[in-house]
């Protein structure tokens, strides 16, 4: 009896082990063979988890690590992240070809945001909703003067407030982040709400704090937002934080909108809207009265206002921070910029948009800041909305498309010694500014950033005015600034301190 029991136990042990091996083998084979044929090449990753473990273990900048995949797989790479297919575009030509396609012009769903506010905005909508929202947004922004010289006064007024705040430091040490972000965001406030806020305003400060938290938490490329599995894992601490931050941001926007309506009055915005929010509400009312189907809804308004603040504040302020960082790091370039501005503008007035054609070096410096700063290194993800092909490879419906803009801006065949800060790349032999096709900080294709014109105006006016009025340098006795970056959705310089010395004398 004992011998037979031992044999029975052994047999049971073998059966359990065999079953486990069988299940494991089945899962592996299922994972291997379910992968659609003719996908772009790429790393296999783990069963079920895909390439997620490798991404999680990356210690350096993720855009650089992804860029290295092109050395093995080429300019078109695919991999799975928790059963979700990601297609990575690594050079300019393939991006241009891909984003000219209607099928690759969608946006993946903001999975975590849907938990707090179901809907979409102009940045995240697809298909007909996107067409209507984008057409409305572009038309309204143009109507408000964005991109035209008439809007210059709004930016200059805010820039004067920024410079006054900097002057109050009297050349002492300052962290430029909050100064710059306040000014840039206030320009968006003048567009959205028809007014600016004092930098000490409680709700304004809460808005900027919530924006900062969102961009820091989500990570490079916003992958956490777009991968469905994370929305089902709300028990994770970082997911809880993102949900809480989204709720806070939505609440603050709603409060600011309510405050705007109380101050301006419902009758006025219905009759003669003077800002984006008013125009949106009037358009919704008009559509409702006419009985016309529309995608202009309260939810899409909330999202679109958030899109304008998120994209319009974070990217421009980060680019300006990089500009100040590079000016401090390359004082000879800062001096050359100041001499050019003084030559054209003089000392009795501030730079204007009309001076821009005569200041090619200023444009060249801003362009080189955008290239080397790489504010949005992985762009804004796209989504394949219908099965299509790209470069002969099958791109299935639902795949997320990520453009590695960093790899384009760091291509040594286009930019010799790409890690060097050299504004002269954008000047011809006669010293005239030359636009470079492969500088694409605002994206490329059908979904290029709709705020590009406003961003260019802000960058030029704020940067040229700051350099006209101040010389920026490291505090006395401090070590030279490094060029380390903090990675979130945007790539911002690590916190740094500088001194702003007035050039009045």
Contact between 365 and 356 under an 8 Å Cβ cutoff? The reply is no
For CA atoms 226, 107, 206, 269, the dihedral sign is negative
CA distance 403 to 406: 9
Region for 28 from its dihedrals, namely left if φ exceeds 0, alpha if ψ lies in -120 to 50, beta otherwise: alpha
Contact between 308 and 451 under an 8 Å Cβ cutoff? The reply is yes
Q: What share of residues in the chain are helix, strand, coil (percent, to 5)?
A: 55, 10, 35
What is the distance, to the nearest Å, from the Cα of residue 301 to the centroid of all Cα atoms in its chain? 20
CA distance 135 to 42: 37
Residues in the chain: 505
CA distance 455 to 189: 14
What angle do the packed helices 276-290 and 298-329 form, to 10 degrees? 160
- 449 labeled part of a ligand binding site: yes
Under DSSP, is residue 400 helix (H, G, I), strand (E, B) or coil? strand
CA distance 218 to 324: 26
What is the distance, to the nearest Å, from the Cα of residue 42 to the centroid of all Cα atoms in its chain? 26
Give 493's strand partners: 485
What is the distance, to the nearest Å, from the Cα of residue 140 to the centroid of all Cα atoms in its chain? 22
Under DSSP, is residue 482 helix (H, G, I), strand (E, B) or coil? coil
Contact between 27 and 48 under an 8 Å Cβ cutoff? The reply is yes
CA distance 272 to 249: 28
Q: How far separated are the first and last CA of the chain, in Å rounded?
A: 105
DSSP H/E element including 382: strand 382-383
- Beta strand 84-89 pairing with 76-81: antiparallel
DSSP H/E element including 266: helix 266-271
Under DSSP, is residue 407 helix (H, G, I), strand (E, B) or coil? helix
Give the residue among 375, 383, 492 at the shortest CA–CA distance from 439. 375
- Beta strand 84-89 pairing with 400-403: parallel
Contact between 413 and 70 under an 8 Å Cβ cutoff? The reply is no
How many CB atoms sit inside 10 A of residue 27's CB?
Answer: 12
Please state the residue numbers annotated as binding site.
449
Residues flagged as binding site for heme: 449
């Amino acid at each position: 009896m004992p011998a037979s029991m031992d044999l029975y136990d052994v047999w049971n042990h073998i059966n359990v082990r065999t079953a486990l091996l069988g299940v494991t083998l089945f899962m592996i084979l299922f994972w291997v063979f379910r992968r659609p044929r003719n996908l772009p090449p790429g790393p296999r990753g783990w069963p079920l988890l895909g390439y997620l473990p490798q991404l999680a273990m990356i210690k350096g900048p993720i855009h650089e690590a992804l860029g290295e995949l092109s050395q093995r797989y080429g300019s078109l790479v695919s991999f799975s992240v928790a059963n979700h297919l990601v297609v990575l575009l690594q050079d300019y030509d393939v991006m241009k070809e891909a984003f000219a396609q209607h099928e690759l012009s969608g946006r993946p769903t903001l999975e975590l945001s849907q938990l707090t506010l179901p809907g979409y905005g102009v940045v995240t909508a697809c298909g007909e909703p996107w067409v209507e929202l984008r057409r409305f947004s572009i038309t309204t922004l143009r109507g408000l003067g964005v991109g035209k010289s008439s809007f210059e006064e709004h930016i200059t007024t805010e820039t004067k407030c920024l410079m006054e705040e900097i002057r109050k430091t009297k050349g002492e040490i300052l962290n430029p982040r909050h100064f710059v972000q306040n000014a840039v965001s206030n320009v968006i406030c003048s567009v959205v709400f028809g007014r600016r806020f004092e930098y000490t305003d409680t709700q304004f400060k809460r808005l900027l704090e919530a924006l900062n938290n969102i961009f820091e938490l989500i990570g490079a490329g916003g992958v956490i937002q777009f991968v469905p599995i994370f929305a089902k894992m709300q028990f994770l601490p970082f997911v809880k934080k993102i949900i809480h931050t989204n709720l806070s941001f939505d609440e603050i926007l709603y409060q600011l909108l309510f405050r705007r309506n109380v101050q301006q009055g419902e009758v006025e915005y219905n009759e003669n809207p003077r800002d984006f929010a008013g125009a949106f509400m009037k358009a919704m009312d008009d559509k409702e009265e006419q009985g016309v189907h529309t995608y202009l809804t309260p939810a899409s308004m909330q999202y679109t206002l958030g899109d304008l603040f998120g994209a319009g504040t974070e990217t421009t302020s980060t680019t300006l921070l990089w500009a100040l960082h590079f000016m401090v790091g390359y004082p000879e370039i800062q001096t050359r910029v100041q001499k050019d501005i003084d030559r054209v503008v003089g000392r009795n007035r501030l730079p204007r948009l009309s001076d821009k054609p005569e200041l090619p070096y200023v444009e060249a410096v801003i362009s080189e800041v955008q290239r080397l700063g790489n504010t949005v290194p992985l762009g804004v993800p796209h989504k394949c909305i219908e099965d299509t092909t790209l470069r002969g490879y099958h791109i299935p419906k639902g795949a997320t498309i990520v453009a590695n803009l960093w790899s384009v801006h760091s291509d040594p065949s286009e930019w010799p010694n790409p890690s060097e800060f050299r504004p002269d790349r954008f000047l011809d032999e006669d010293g005239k500014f030359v636009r470079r096709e492969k500088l694409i900080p605002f994206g490329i294709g059908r979904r290029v950033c709709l705020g590009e014109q406003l961003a260019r105006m802000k960058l030029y006016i704020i940067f040229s005015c700051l350099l006209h009025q101040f010389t920026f340098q490291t505090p006395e006795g401090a070590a030279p600034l490094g060029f380390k970056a903090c990675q979130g959705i945007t790539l911002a310089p690590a916190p740094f301190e500088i001194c702003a010395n007035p050039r009045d004398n």
